[in-house]
C-alpha cells in the first residue's frame, strides 16, 4: 500500500530510525501511524521511550500585540514540524499568548522561580506578618501559605486558564500533549507593557 | 481663529501648562505650533527645557514575527500620544523590530551592558590574545579594540541600520527626534529565536 511520505518522516523524527525502517513499520501496520509507533516501541526500535523525556525541539514562536500597548512572545516546543504546523497546536500557541497578556505571569512554572525572588518574597511576607502581630510560632506557616498563593498567581502553568478558569494552564497544556501525541513544552515567554516600571 | 483641539492638547502635554495657556499661546502664534512652543520656551513657560531631558512616557510596543521562528518586541517611547500615532513614528517602530530580528543585538546601547558581561568578554578576549602569543604589553590595547568591536555589534544603537548600512541605528533614531520634535527613546527589546540556546 502507498504510505504517505509525511507520515514516514514524522515517524522517523519521533523514533530516530532511518527512512527505510520507518516505512517498513508503517507498511507492517497497514499505514496506521499509532500502531506502527507502538510496534517500534515494543521492539525497542525507538531511541526515546517516554513521551515526557523525548526532546521537544520543533515548535513555534508565537506573538501577540494588544493595541500597541502590550506585547507578548511565547516559545512553545513540540517534537516534530508536523505537530508545529497542526492547527490544534497553533491554537494552543495563540491561547498561551493571550494568557500571558492577560495574566501577566512572571515565571513559566514554580521550577523557574529564581532563589533570589523566592528569598525576597519570603522576607517581604515575613515582615508583613510580623507587623500584623501574629504569634511568632505561626509565622512560618502563614508565610508559606502566602508564598504558595503568590507564586501560583505568578506562574503561568498554575494560573487559571482565561478561557476556562476551572482549569489551570498546565492542565490545558497536558490535554494537548494527550491530543497531539507529542511532548509539548512552554519553554519561555516575554511580556512588555507600555511604560511599565521594570 | 479656530485652533485644533488636538494641537492644544499636544502643546499642553509637551509643556505641562493648562489648556487655557496652551490655547492662548497657539492663538498668539496664529496656530503655528512650533512658533507657539518656541514663544513659550522663550518666556520660560515650559517645565522641561531640553528635549533630551524631557520625559518620554507615551509610545508604542511594536512586535514582529518572522515565519513563527523569530519573534521581536520593542518598546519605543515618545512624549505624546500624538507622535505615538504619527505614521513616521510607527514606521520607526517597525524598522526597529526588523532591525532587532536581523541584527540580533543583546543590549540597547553601550550604557546597558552589565559589568558582568563586560568582565566575561574581557576575560575571554584576554585569554584568546595571550594564546596567540602577542607581546604582553600590547595585550590591553588589543583587548580594548576587540571589546569595542564586540559591543558595537551587540548594541542596537551602534549597529549599522539594515535599510541603510552607512548609518548607525542611533543616528537613524536621532533623525526622527529632529523630524518629530520630541524626545524618542528605544527603551528595551526582546528577541526570541526558535530552539536557540540561551
For an interface test with A, the pick among B194, B196, B197, B198 (most A C-beta atoms closer than 10 Å) comes out as B194
Q: Is A30 left (phi over 0), alpha (psi -120 to 50) or beta?
A: left
Q: Which residue has the cell 504558595?
A: A148
Asked if A70 and B61 come within 8 Å (Cβ–Cβ), the reply is: yes
B186 pLDDT more than 80: yes
Residue A50 pLDDT exceeds 50: no
pLDDT over 90 percentage in chain A: 62
Spell out which residues of chain A touch residue B58, defining contact as CB-CB under 8 Å. Answer: 195
Q: Which of B73, B51, B49 is nearest to B62 (CA)?
A: B73
Which of B58, B61, B64 should be substituted to probe chain A, the one whose Cβ sees the most A Cβ atoms within 10 Å? Answer: B61
Helices and strands: H and E segment counts in chain A: 8, 5
Could you give the strand order of the β-sheet that contains B70-78, starting from the edge strand earlier in sequence? Answer: B58-66, B70-78, B185-193
Q: How far apart are CA A21 and CA A27, in angstroms?
A: 10
Confidence band, pLDDT 50/70/90 cuts, at residue A46: low
* Among B153, B159, B154, B183, residue whose Cα is nearest residue B171: B159
Which residue of chain B has the CA closest to A85?
A: B68
Q: Mean pLDDT over all residues of chain B?
A: 89
- The string of pLDDT tens digits covering residues A147-168 is 999 999 999 999 999 999 999 9
DSSP line for B37-67: HHHHHHTT--S--SGGGS---EEEEEEEEET
B188/B36 Cα distance (integer angstroms): 33
> Nearest Cβ partner of B65 from A61, A70, A195?
A61
Contacts of B192 in chain A (CB under 8 A): 61, 73, 75, 188, 190
Sequence-ordered alpha helix ranges (H) in chain B:
5-15, 19-28, 33-42, 81-84, 87-103, 115-131, 139-154, 169-180
Q: What sign for the dihedral angle of Cα B133, B137, B138, B144?
A: positive
Is there a contact between A61 and B70 if contact means CB atoms under 8 Å apart? yes
pLDDT band (50, 70, 90) for residue A48? very low
Do the chains contact at B61 and A71, CB–CB below 8 Å? yes
CA R_g for chain B? 22
CA dihedral sign, ordered B73, B109, B166, B121: negative
Write the secondary structure of B75-101 as one string of H (helix), E (strand) and C (coil). Answer: EEEECCHHHHCCHHHHHHHHHHHHHHH
CB pairs under 8 A, 24+ apart, for A173-179? A173/A92, A176/A88, A176/A89, A176/A92, A177/A51, A179/A88
Q: Is A13 left (phi over 0), alpha (psi -120 to 50) or beta?
A: alpha
d(CA B130, CA B140): 10
| Contacts A195 to B, Cβ<8 Å | 57-59, 77
Residue B190 and residue B72 in contact, taking contact as beta carbons nearer than 8 Å: yes
Residue in B60, B65, B190 nearest the CB of A68? B60
Of B58, B64, B195, the CB nearest to A57: B195
Whole-angstrom Cα distance, residue A161 to residue A151? 16
CA-atom Rg of chain A in angstroms: 22
User: Is B195 within 8 Å of A59 when comparing Cβ atoms?
Assistant: yes
**pLDDT confidence band for A47 (50 / 70 / 90):** low
Determine, for residues A57 and B192 on separate chains, whether the beta-carbon distance falls below 8 Å.
no
In terms of Cβ atoms closer than 10 Å to its own Cβ (0-12, 13-18, 19+), residue A53 is exposed
Cell numbers describing residue B143: 583587548
φ/ψ of A3, rounded to 5, equals: -105, 135
Cβ-contact A184, A56 below 8 angstroms: yes
ipTM: 0.73
SS3 of residue A134 by DSSP: coil
Q: How far is B86 from chain A (nearest CA, A)?
A: 13
CA atoms within 13 A on the CB side of A35: 8
Burial label, B106 (beta-carbon count in 10 A; 0-12, 13-18, 19+): middle
A132: burial class by Cβ within 10 Å (0-12, 13-18, 19+)?
exposed
CA distance B96 to chain A (A): 14
Subunit contact A69:B61, Cβ cutoff 8 A: yes
pLDDT in tens, B131-176: 988 888 999 999 999 999 999 999 999 999 999 999 999 999 999 9
Q: Which of A58, A64, A68, A80 should one mutate to test binding to chain B, selecting the residue with the greatest count of B CBs within 10 A?
A: A68
Contact B73 A68 (CB under 8 A): no
Give the pLDDT confidence score for residue B198 in this predicted structure. 58
Query: Which residues from chain B sit within 8 angstroms of residue A58, using beta carbons?
Result: 195
Residue A85: φ, ψ to 5°:
-95, -5
Residue B53 has pLDDT above 70, yes or no: no
| Chain A nearest CA to B149, separation (Å) | 29
Q: How far is B184 from chain A (nearest CA, A)?
A: 13
pTM: 0.74
Amino acid at each position: 500500500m502507498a504510505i504517505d511520505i509525511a507520515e514516514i518522516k514524522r515517524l522517523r523524527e519521533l523514533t530516530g530510525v532511518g527512512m527505510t525502517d520507518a516505512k517498513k513499520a508503517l507498511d507492517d501496520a497497514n499505514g496506521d501511524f499509532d500502531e506502527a509507533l507502538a510496534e517500534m516501541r515494543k521492539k525497542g526500535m525507538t531511541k526515546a521511550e517516554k513521551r515526557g523525556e523525548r526532546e521537544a525541539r520543533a515548535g513555534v514562536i508565537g506573538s501577540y500585540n494588544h493595541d500597541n500597548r502590550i506585547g507578548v512572545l511565547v516559545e512553545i516546543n513540540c517534537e516534530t514540524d508536523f505537530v508545529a504546523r497542526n492547527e490544534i497546536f497553533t491554537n494552543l500557541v495563540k491561547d498561551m499568548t493571550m494568557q500571558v497578556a492577560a495574566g501577566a505571569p512572571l515565571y513559566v512554572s514554580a521550577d523557574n522561580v529564581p532563589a533570589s525572588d523566592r528569598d525576597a518574597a519570603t522576607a517581604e511576607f515575613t515582615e508583613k506578618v510580623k507587623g500584623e502581630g501574629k504569634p511568632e510560632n505561626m509565622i512560618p506557616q502563614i508565610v508559606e501559605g502566602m508564598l504558595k498563593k503568590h507564586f501560583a498567581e505568578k506562574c503561568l502553568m498554575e494560573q487559571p486558564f482565561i478561557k476556562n478558569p476551572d482549569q489551570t494552564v498546565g492542565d490545558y497544556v497536558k490535554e494537548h500533549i494527550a491530543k497531539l501525541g507529542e511532548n509539548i513544552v512552554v519553554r519561555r515567554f516575554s511580556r512588555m507593557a507600555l511604560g511599565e516600571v521594570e
